[in-house]
């Protein structure tokens, strides 16, 4: 009889290349973490978020059952290790939180082809021809291997799977396992995943920058084509593009020379000014 | 009169106060904000003001109208400098005239307080030690980003190795 299957979404990474929390990146109005958790929910017994102890204060992560890294900062294997120890009798379907194109069909295929007598079940990666470790099922027997792997000073779960007795599934076509690491990749993925709303499409708007935002953006104004529907979405886009450091909660926005709400829908030709905290007088 | 102005050039309150003269007014109150040589423990050598001019004028005039309605003053004027200022320069001038002094004092106080908080004007301080910073923006930018993008902040989080 096969072990019960739990789900785990890995969020304990540092997203260094993205310089933003990958779990919080939004696609079609939902965060990557929310998308991954709701994808898992109907397919596994229980689902957990894997995180570092210093991430417990994040309300989004804390809204799900959490498993804290026992040996943090080793990369994905930290989360896999902690889960195998949290419920040693369970198998774990592990997902990275930077797979925006992952679909239910891919995960269902993984479950359908699971081989409980093996250490793990994984797809072959069409990227490097090795097992894909962060959309894979780890059986309880993987625990000792992971322990030994870490004890030996190793980290890479891809290499571990490569030398273990696993069931390897052919590469999943269609890019479902493509991950994103940079702001550019995120913007492309978000554009591809944007829901087809009646008002969707892009519009040309003007943005003016003042004070600290002008310095950070390296320009006083620009005209740009955006798929952002609201001022807030536009700011998120610009924040990534220009490395703006103020959080949206710190800003007010003016549209066409009048104060507006950050949720106000944008129209073609609007002139938008994000207003940093003021300091007259 | 009811006017909010931005001035790229130095100006003096003396030349403006006559604009508020009115035989019906027995009280005139003005406030001048000057560039000070220190702020929050740092020695200031000079500063720059930058404004989003159309909205600054609009919001500034709204504040003046509010002051006139609340405190029954007859005239209100505010002039704010933009550009580079030196120590001692006049940065902002507020003046009101009213039939009685009490309303004039209260209206003047109301206007300067509201202007500081609402009008899209930003202040960059230059310090004696060679650093500079946008007031109300630099420190909050650090704290807001420290959780996730601490790499550019002066105090990195312990997890950023």
Question: Mean of the pLDDT values across residues B7-11?
Answer: 96
Distance of alpha carbon A49 from alpha carbon A35, whole angstroms: 12
**Which residue matches tokens 């030398």?**
A163
Give first-to-last CA distance, chain A, whole Å. 74
Do A235 and A252 contact (CB within 8 A), yes or no?
no
Per DSSP bridges, beta strands A47-51 and A5-10 are parallel
- Contact A123/A135 with Cβ under 8 angstroms? yes
Distance, CA of B143 to CA of B135 (rounded, Å): 14
Which of A19, A73, A278 is closest, CB to CB, to B117?
Answer: A278
Euclidean distance between CA atoms A173 and A207, whole angstroms: 40
| Interface residue ranges in chain B relative to chain A, Cβ cutoff 8 Å | 33, 49-52, 54-55, 58-59, 80, 91-92, 112, 115-124, 134-138, 140-141, 144-145, 147-149, 151-152, 157, 159-161
B140 interaction partners in chain A (CB closer than 8 Å): 246, 250, 277
Task: Give the pLDDT score at A14.
Answer: 85
Tokens 């550009």 locate to: B83
Band (B148; pLDDT cuts 50, 70, 90): very low
* Per-residue pLDDT, B146: 38
Query: What is the predicted pLDDT for the residue at A196?
Result: 52
Whether the Cβ atoms of residue A255 and residue A235 lie closer than 8 Å to each other? no
Interface of A with B in 47-66 (CB under 8 A): 52, 54
Q: Provide the pLDDT for residue A211.
A: 97
DSSP states of B115-140 as a string? Answer: HHHHS-EEEEEEETTS-EEETTTHHH
DSSP bridge partners of A169: A123
Buried b (16+ CB within 10 A) or exposed e, A11-36: bbbbbeebbbbbbbbbbeeebbbbbb
User: Which of helix, strand or coil describes residue A90?
Assistant: coil
For B104-125, what is the mean pLDDT? 97
Stretch B83-95: mean pLDDT, rounded? 97
CA distance A125 to A158: 10
Question: B97 and B72 in contact (C-beta within 8 Å)?
Answer: no
Query: What are the residues facing A31 on neighbouring strands?
Result: A26
Please answer whether residues A212 and A185 qualify as being in contact, where contact means their C-beta atoms are separated by less than 8 angstroms: no
Structure tokens at B90: 């006049």
Task: State the DSSP string of A1-70.
Answer: -PPPEEEEEE--S--TTTTS-GGG-EETTEEHHHHHHHHHTTTSS-EEEEE-GGGTT-HHHHTS-EEE-S
* Cα A90 from Cα A140, distance rounded (Å): 6
CB A183 within 8 A of CB A240: yes
Statement: residue B150 has pLDDT above 70: no
281 residues of chain A, pLDDT tens digit each? 789 999 999 999 888 888 788 898 988 778 999 999 999 988 999 999 999 999 998 989 989 999 999 998 899 999 999 999 999 999 999 999 989 999 999 999 999 999 999 999 999 987 788 999 999 999 999 999 999 999 999 999 999 999 999 999 998 877 888 888 888 888 888 888 876 554 457 899 999 999 999 999 999 999 999 999 999 999 999 998 899 999 999 999 999 999 999 999 999 999 999 999 999 98
What is the pLDDT, as a whole number, of residue A200?
58
- What is the Cα Rg of chain A in Å? 21
Q: Does A127 reach chain B within 8 Å, measured CB to CB?
A: no
CB A4 within 8 A of CB A45: yes
> In chain A, which residues have their Cβ closer than 8 Å to the Cβ of B55?
254, 257-259, 273
pLDDT digit string (tens) for B11-54? 999 999 999 999 999 999 999 999 999 998 999 999 999 999 99
State the ipTM, two decimals.
Answer: 0.84
């Amino acid at each position: 009889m096969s072990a019960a299957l739990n789900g785990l979404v890995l969020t304990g990474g540092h997203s260094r290349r993205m310089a933003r929390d990958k779990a919080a990146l939004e696609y079609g109005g939902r965060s990557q973490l929310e998308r991954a958790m709701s994808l898992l929910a109907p397919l596994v017994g229980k689902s957990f978020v894997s995180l570092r102890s210093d991430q417990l204060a994040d309300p989004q992560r804390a809204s799900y059952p959490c498993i804290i890294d026992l040996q943090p900062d080793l990369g994905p294997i930290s989360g896999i290790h902690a889960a195998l120890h949290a419920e040693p009798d369970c198998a774990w379907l592990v997902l990275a939180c930077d797979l925006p194109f992952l679909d239910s069909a891919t995960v269902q295929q993984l479950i359908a082809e699971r081989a409980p007598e093996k250490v793990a079940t994984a797809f072959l990666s069409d990227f490097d021809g090795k097992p894909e470790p962060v959309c894979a099922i780890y059986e309880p027997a993987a625990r000792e291997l992971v322990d030994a792997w870490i004890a030996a000073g190793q980290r890479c779960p891809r290499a571990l799977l490569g030398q273990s007795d696993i069931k390897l599934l052919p590469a999943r076509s269609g890019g479902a396992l493509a991950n994103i690491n940079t702001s550019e990749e995120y913007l492309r993925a978000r554009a591809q995943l944007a829901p087809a709303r009646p008002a969707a499409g892009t519009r040309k708007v003007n943005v003016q920058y003042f004070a600290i935002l002008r310095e950070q953006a390296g320009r006083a104004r620009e005209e740009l084509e955006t798929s952002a529907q609201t001022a807030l979405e536009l700011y998120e886009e610009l924040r990534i593009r220009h490395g703006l450091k103020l959080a949206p909660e710190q800003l007010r926005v003016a549209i066409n020379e009048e104060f507006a709400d950050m949720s106000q829908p944008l129209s073609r030709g609007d002139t938008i000014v994000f207003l940093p905290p003021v300091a007259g007088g | 009169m009811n006017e909010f102005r931005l001035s790229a050039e130095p100006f003096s309150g003396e030349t403006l106060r006559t604009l508020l003269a009115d035989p019906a007014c027995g009280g005139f109150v003005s406030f001048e904000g000057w560039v000070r040589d220190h702020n929050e423990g740092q020695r200031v050598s000079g500063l720059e003001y930058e404004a989003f001019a159309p909205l600054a004028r609009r919001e500034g005039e709204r504040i003046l109208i509010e002051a006139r309605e609340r405190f029954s003053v007859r005239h209100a004027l505010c002039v704010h400098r933009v550009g580079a200022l030196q120590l001692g320069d006049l940065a902002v001038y507020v003046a009101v005239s009213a039939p009685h002094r009490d309303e004039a004092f209260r209206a003047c106080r109301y206007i300067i307080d509201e202007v500081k908080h609402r009008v899209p004007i930003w202040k960059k301080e230059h310090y004696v030690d060679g650093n500079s910073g946008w007031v109300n923006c630099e420190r909050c930018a650090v704290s807001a980003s420290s959780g996730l993008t601490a790499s550019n902040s002066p105090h990195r989080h312990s997890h950023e190795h």
